[in-house]
A and B are shown apart, each in its own frame.
Chain A
Amino acid sequence: MCRNIFAISIIGFLLITGCKKKEEYQAQQNSNSQSISGLLTSNDTLLSYEDLGLKKLSDYGFFNQPLNKLIPANNQVVPYELNSPLFTDYASKKRFIWLPEGSQLSYVKDESVFNFPNGAVIIKNFYYKNEELKTEEDIIIETRLLIKDEKTKQWKTLPYIWNEEQTEAYLYILGKDIDLIIERNDADNKQIAFKYSVPNINMCKNCHVKDQTIVPLGPTPRQLNMKHVFQDSIVKNQLAYLKDNKMLKDLDNLDAVHKFPNYLDPNSGSLNERARAYLDVNCAHCHQDGGSAKTSGLHLVYSETDQYKLGINKPPVAAGKGSGNLSYDIVEGKPNESILLFRMKHLEPDIVMPEIGKNLVHTEGVKLIDAWIASLGN
């Protein structure tokens, strides 16, 4: 009896793994035949959602034509970068802040998002470079807007998806899968085929809700504390630029602002600092007090000092299969026994972390966190 069951399960296993290989192969072939499908075409039904936001990105007037060059239409639109950005399947990002005329950001704390005036908009464009896609030009996939509503004084999230012609982006609340093949400029120059997921309008809230309110995540003084090449090749610290243009108040001493490490740049901080920066920007929006992963007890903000809350020898609470049959979030010196790294390395929906918007493993991030866990306890 037992032997039979054993035999059957072996056959079952072979069947399952056999099928899997076939599927993967087919998926690869399909995506080779067309490199970018999923951007909007005339076949897509585009609805107006007037109570949500404007139908087209160009309706806001942030950028000059041609729209896909993303050239600010006036000095109310200010570009910025972050020292340590969120990983989004190797997409590059161009970020801008739009401020109503005469209004200012105000400084709160180095690690806290600026206080934005009502009506402000944060504009984040996700694109892949032409050399990654082997296309003539860069391709913009989506533009996400965070708008601080004049009336309600609350932030709202609006996802826009670009069309194939790259002439316009449309408000598209349903989320969409975009088929991409990219070639990373790394050691093996391997082509990667994958589905890039534009989130639906509710998914934005998974990351952007803290204490039951929508909040921006990136633009903090310590993240903006870096040089940027502005128009006309002016190179300037971003905080200084904002201040000089009277768009930032309540910050007197720029030199005292903490500069957040760039997790990919070994010169920007120690291994520990860079790993903690990585966990902060990629995990802590949920994994903190008031975040959507608060029930996990795993808190990954940069300033966390409680080793247990950081996951060291902490068992998971309701990780299910996400635990990978491992016992602790982090085991010092043992990356391969640490659930945190296990979940970074996997892409299944019930295992992958971060749990949305990620369809590729971030090899560099995995390397960094692997090295960091290996270094702990020494």
Chain B
Amino acid sequence: MLAILLVTYFVIKNEPTPEYTPERHYVEGKENEILSKFLLAKDSTVIELGAGHFTISQSLSLEGLNHVIIKGKGIDQTVLNFKGQSRGAEGIRVSNCTSITIQDLTVENAKGDNIKVMDTDGITIKNVESSWTGEVSEKNGAYAFYPVLCKNVVIDGCRSIGSSDAGIYVGQSINVTISNNLAFYNVAGIESENSKNVKIFGNKAYENAGGILVFDLPGLTQYGSNIEVYNNEVYDNNTKNFASKGAIVGQVPSGTGSLVLGTEDVYIHDNVFTNNKTSSIAIASYILIYEMGKRNKKSDETTSNTGKRVVGNVRMIDSKFDQDKNYNPYPRQIRIGKNAYSNSHIFPTINNDFGKILLLKKPIRTIDVLWDGIEAPEAPYTICFEKENKDISFYALDVINDFKNPTTDVSKYFCN
């Protein structure tokens, strides 16, 4: 009886709701001075920001400039706080620029995204903290670092805290380095989405709902390939998923170390995965996400006036993905090298669908590598394991056959 109670306790125990409360002494009245520096910047300007914790009510933007450096006096010294901002949803917004550097400062509490960079060739962000303070909440902004449609992106030595979507999020970009950062208390710690030539190394991703994600989504300008995730420490990513319902990361099960969705040519090696409750590494096709969305929300299906079926709640899940001819929903050439896996959690969590399935199918041990089992047609291979993985706990759900023939035999998928 006691055993059953214990099991029940571990299984239904809620994930933690972390809180980030750094010491702050906010000053007002410096906004116009700081804003002027951004508005008057020209090519090759160095925008120097002094020490102080400044409250700012509007986005600070750079547009169409070359070789500009935005520089504070240090993460704890120069803080730009956008709490309660009334104009624009971003903190710092950079667009149509080349060679921009942001360094040695903190951006916090923007309504939308803290640092958004669009259409920029050459963006380096180093020694910057981007955070939402207080208890994590779906009211927090979406992305802490958000370069999108950029080339030559470096995010190094930064900290991302409390994002209600992804902390370090690089979308539709080419040549990306995400290195030596800390990402914690976010829904997703680090996410590469539809990006090419991406190196993610030396980071610590912990106490997020998901640690490091590699996603490929349909309907966008480009698709992801050639991504290497190595030498990262990914641990305790068991924070509840506090994404707003509209976001696709809302689908990421809490307790996920790393999740690969779609994408071609991803190599995951030499990482240390510790205490991620659902699975250290999960690999899924977009088809799975789509099917799970449908499965969850059958009762909400509605019919529009045209008679077309509309699945009322499949949030941001694109039912037209099969009409995007350039999009391939399957993960392809996902290579798993040697990683360290350990887990003190005895039971998978049931706070997400994966956990529930795993608890039913494989209750005694948490999973190192979980795969939906959907093979990519026409790819050299879908996933493969280097030989060092022979003793890992592997589980391939047979999703398309309603989980009838799952496999745990990793040797079937050794790399050639």
Q: A: which residues have CB within 8 A of B?
A: 49, 173-175, 177, 195, 197, 200-203, 205, 209, 212, 292, 295, 297, 308, 313-328, 331-334, 337, 348-350, 355-356, 376-378
- Determine if B305 and A333 form an interchain contact, defined as CB atoms under 8 angstroms apart: yes
B-chain residues with CB within 8 Å of residue A325 when the two chains form the complex: 244-246, 315
User: Closest CB-CB distance, A3 to chain B, in whole Å?
Assistant: 13
- Determine if A292 and B304 form an interchain contact, defined as CB atoms under 8 angstroms apart: no
- Determine if B111 and A349 form an interchain contact, defined as CB atoms under 8 angstroms apart: yes
A46 to B312, CA, bound (A): 54
A-chain residues with CB within 8 Å of residue B143 when the two chains form the complex: 318
- Mask: chain B, 278-307; 1 = CB below 8 Å from A; 0 = not: 000000000000000000000000101110
User: Closest CB-CB distance, B166 to chain A, in whole Å?
Assistant: 10
Cβ 8 A contact of A316, one of B36, B119, B246? B246
- Determine if B87 and A202 form an interchain contact, defined as CB atoms under 8 angstroms apart: no
B175 at interface (Cβ–Cβ under 8 A)? no
Nearest A-chain residue to B314, judged by Cβ: A327
* CB interface residues, B 175-227, toward A, < 8 Å: 217, 219-221
User: Closest CB-CB distance, B144 to chain A, in whole Å?
Assistant: 13
B171 at interface (Cβ–Cβ under 8 A)? yes
B112 at interface (Cβ–Cβ under 8 A)? yes
- Determine if A320 and B316 form an interchain contact, defined as CB atoms under 8 angstroms apart: no
- Determine if B35 and A316 form an interchain contact, defined as CB atoms under 8 angstroms apart: no
B-chain residues with CB within 8 Å of residue A328 when the two chains form the complex: 310
- Determine if A332 and B305 form an interchain contact, defined as CB atoms under 8 angstroms apart: yes
B389 at interface (Cβ–Cβ under 8 A)? no
Nearest B-chain residue to A315, judged by Cβ: B316
User: Closest CB-CB distance, B263 to chain A, in whole Å?
Assistant: 17
- Determine if B246 and A202 form an interchain contact, defined as CB atoms under 8 angstroms apart: no
Cβ 8 A contact of A308, one of B89, B305, B320? B320
A90 to B245, CA, bound (A): 34
- Determine if B61 and A202 form an interchain contact, defined as CB atoms under 8 angstroms apart: yes
- Mask: chain B, 33-44; 1 = CB below 8 Å from A; 0 = not: 001101110000
A-chain residues with CB within 8 Å of residue B312 when the two chains form the complex: 327, 337
A174 to B96, CA, bound (A): 21
- Determine if A334 and B304 form an interchain contact, defined as CB atoms under 8 angstroms apart: yes
* CB interface residues, B 141-165, toward A, < 8 Å: 141-143, 148-149, 164-165
- Determine if B64 and A333 form an interchain contact, defined as CB atoms under 8 angstroms apart: no
Cβ 8 A contact of A332, one of B112, B149, B306? B306
A-B contact count (CB 8 A): 141
- Determine if A331 and B310 form an interchain contact, defined as CB atoms under 8 angstroms apart: yes
> Interface residue count for B (Cβ, 8 Å)?
57
- Determine if A209 and B149 form an interchain contact, defined as CB atoms under 8 angstroms apart: no
- Determine if A315 and B89 form an interchain contact, defined as CB atoms under 8 angstroms apart: no
A205 to B314, CA, bound (A): 35
A333 to B308, CA, bound (A): 12
Among B85, B148, B302, B305, which residue has the most Cβ atoms of chain A within 10 A?
B305
- Determine if A349 and B112 form an interchain contact, defined as CB atoms under 8 angstroms apart: yes
Nearest A-chain residue to B95, judged by Cβ: A292
Q: B: which residues have CB within 8 A of A?
A: 32, 35-36, 38-40, 58, 61-64, 85-89, 95-96, 111-112, 118-119, 138-139, 141-143, 148-149, 164-165, 171-172, 217, 219-221, 244-247, 302, 304-306, 308, 310-320
Residues A209 and B111 in contact in the complex (CB < 8 Å), given A317-B219, A377-B305, A377-B306: no
Cβ 8 A contact of A173, one of B36, B61, B148, B317? B36
Residues A315 and B63 in contact in the complex (CB < 8 Å), given A320-B142, A323-B246, A356-B87: no
B-chain residues with CB within 8 Å of residue A348 when the two chains form the complex: 111
- Determine if A297 and B310 form an interchain contact, defined as CB atoms under 8 angstroms apart: no
User: Closest CB-CB distance, B306 to chain A, in whole Å?
Assistant: 4
18 contacts between A and B (CB under 8 A): A173-B39, A202-B39, A202-B62, A203-B88, A292-B118, A295-B118, A313-B320, A315-B317, A319-B246, A319-B316, A320-B142, A320-B164, A323-B246, A332-B304, A332-B306, A333-B305, A333-B306, A355-B88
Nearest A-chain residue to B142, judged by Cβ: A320
A322 to B90, CA, bound (A): 13
- Determine if B244 and A321 form an interchain contact, defined as CB atoms under 8 angstroms apart: yes
- Determine if B87 and A349 form an interchain contact, defined as CB atoms under 8 angstroms apart: yes
User: Closest CB-CB distance, A213 to chain B, in whole Å?
Assistant: 9
A331 to B319, CA, bound (A): 14
- Determine if B244 and A295 form an interchain contact, defined as CB atoms under 8 angstroms apart: no
